[in-house]
Amino acid sequence: MSLVKSPAQLRPRGEGSGARKARLVVLVSGNGGNLQALLDAIAAGAVNASIVLVLSSDPDAFALKRAEAAGIPSIALPYNRDQRIEKEASRIAFDTRLADEVSARDPDYIFLLGWMRILGMAFIGRFPGKIVNLHPALPGCFPGTHAIERAWEACARAELSETGVMTHFVPDELVDAGPVILSERVKMKSNETLADFEFRMHETEHELVVKTAKMLASIASGDGKGER
């Protein structure tokens, strides 16, 4: 495992000797299992943070129901191409609107937990060193979608004996690439079903999301325990 410091200027807001809670925004597109793991860890006091917004690209994502059940503000913001302007201009307009929604919550970090849209620089450039992505593969391996399935298929062909999960910062538009925060290796098992393998990978994802949030929240809150 390795921790890379965020290049963001992290400073406590307000005064007082007590460590404040870090402010997190979570972007989702689906079921929200990793969101739930983070919600549970925060509720248990394991992560010194508050989720101040859950934003989904899919209005029907179950993650929105998880946020509602936890009393977390949530927004559905699906992308709809604006036919009146060029494709790239439409994308920039969407990313700008997305950034405005997130910026209004003044986050310390933005966690991409199953977010299925590639973010452009109109969004990324607004939050340097604050965007954290979770990807179910080791650095440099299986970028893009269906990483778990592709790793399982590679194992079935005897091409792979281990895979893993990582969290990393998002400095640009490259997919599933950027300075690694934490990573965890997962051994492959021969003759394991895809469903069983997916279950083990999701468990590792949940653990790594919580570890990452705990470390970054510690840095943001200024309690001096973020490095190790």
The per-residue pLDDT for 210 is 98
- Residue 126's nearest CA partner among 94, 88, 171 is 171
Tell me which residues of the chain have a pLDDT lower than 70: 1-18, 223-228
Token pair for 217: 């929240």
Buried b (16+ CB within 10 A) or exposed e, 123-139: bbebbebbbbbbbbbbb
Domains of the chain with bracketed CATH:
22-139+165-187+203-221 (3.40.50.170)
- Residue 20: which residues within 8 A CB-CB, separation 6 or more? 12, 13, 14, 221, 222
Catalytic residues: 135
pLDDT of 84-126, one tens digit each?
Answer: 999 999 999 999 999 999 999 999 999 999 999 999 999 999 9
Q: What are phi and psi of 76, to 5 degrees?
A: -105, 125
The per-residue pLDDT for 209 is 98
- Distance of alpha carbon 54 from alpha carbon 45, whole angstroms: 19
- Distance of alpha carbon 14 from alpha carbon 12, whole angstroms: 6
- Distance of alpha carbon 103 from alpha carbon 45, whole angstroms: 26
The per-residue pLDDT for 30 is 96
Q: Please state the pTM of the whole predicted model.
A: 0.89
